[in-house]
């Protein structure tokens, strides 16, 4: 309620925040479907790429994940708690411990702290097998989460004195109140020099247990909470 509408063209992001607040207020009390014209106008004002038009003046299709990311970023900057903390980070923030280890030497691994507002789930397509069938690929959301928490990077190795390949293994140290998961379906095709989309159905469970993706201290907290809930029942 303390949000104020921006009075200049330089405060379009503030206007978007106010429009978002008003939209959620309307949805909370509405008994009929709502057309979010005010919110859409402020979104296009703050981010003109979402106002692109095609032939005949019809709005062009836009990427939903890009739109959500822009909205979360502006809300994270503008909406603060009385203590000055980001409300968005409190609701959606994920904290991770990332172990980085050289795969070409005996360097001790390092652990870095990372924060994100969404969990990246990598989708992989199947590959042709020698018998004429296709094998592999991502079928389950749990597989996609595991792939998203692991990866590789190349950087200079102090012990080797040259670029080397390092493995990255992330484990969640703090789960959010509400978890956002992004299915990454696009990949770069070298032969066509264009992005391609993996059109593969991925199943997800009704209840997603995140304990296996957490650090040992976080797992312990989850187990204590579950034991406490079981006793209540």
Query: Average pLDDT in the 191-211 region?
Result: 84
**In the predicted model, is pLDDT for residue 130 greater than 70?**
no
**In the predicted model, is pLDDT for residue 7 greater than 60?**
no
Per-residue model confidence as pLDDT tens digits over 46-71: 999 999 998 888 888 888 899 999 99
* Cα–Cα dist 183/147, whole Å: 11
Query: Average pLDDT in the 188-210 region?
Result: 81
Q: Do the Cβ atoms of 99 and 168 come closer than 8 Å?
A: yes
Higher pLDDT, 86 or 123: 86
* Cα–Cα dist 17/23, whole Å: 10
Per-residue model confidence as pLDDT tens digits over 149-191: 999 999 999 889 899 999 999 999 999 999 999 888 777 676 7
What Cα–Cα distance (Å) separates residue 48 from each residue in 52, 53, 79, 116, 131?
A: 7, 11, 22, 25, 50
pLDDT grade for 2, boundaries at 50, 70 and 90: very low
* Cα–Cα dist 124/163, whole Å: 28
Higher pLDDT, 36 or 133: 36
pLDDT of 1: 40
Query: Average pLDDT in the 106-116 region?
Result: 93
Of 149, 168, 171, nearest to 215 by C-alpha is 171
């Amino acid at each position: 309620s303390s949000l104020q509408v921006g009075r200049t063209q330089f405060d379009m992001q503030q206007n978007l925040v106010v429009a978002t607040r008003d939209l959620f207020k309307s949805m909370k009390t509405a008994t009929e479907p709502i057309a979010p014209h005010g919110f859409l106008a402020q979104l296009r004002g703050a981010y003109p790429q979402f106002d692109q038009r095609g032939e005949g003046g019809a709005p062009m299709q836009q990427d939903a994940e890009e739109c959500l990311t822009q909205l979360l970023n502006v809300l994270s900057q503008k909406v603060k708690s009385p203590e000055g903390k980001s409300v968005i980070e409190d609701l959606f923030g994920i904290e991770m411990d990332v172990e980085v280890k050289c795969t070409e030497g005996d360097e001790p691994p390092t652990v870095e702290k990372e924060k994100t507002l969404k969990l990246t789930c990598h989708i992989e397509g199947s590959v042709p097998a020698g018998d004429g069938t296709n094998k592999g690929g991502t079928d389950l959301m749990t597989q996609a989460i595991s792939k998203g928490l692991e990866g590789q990077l190349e950087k200079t190795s102090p012990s080797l004195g040259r670029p080397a390949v390092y493995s990255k293994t992330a484990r969640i140290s703090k789960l959010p109140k509400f978890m956002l998961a992004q299915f990454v379906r696009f990949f770069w095709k070298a032969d066509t020099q264009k992005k391609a989309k993996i059109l593969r159905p991925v199943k997800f469970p009704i209840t997603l247990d995140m304990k296996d993706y957490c650090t040992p201290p976080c797992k312990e907290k989850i187990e204590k909470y579950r034991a406490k809930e079981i006793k209540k029942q």
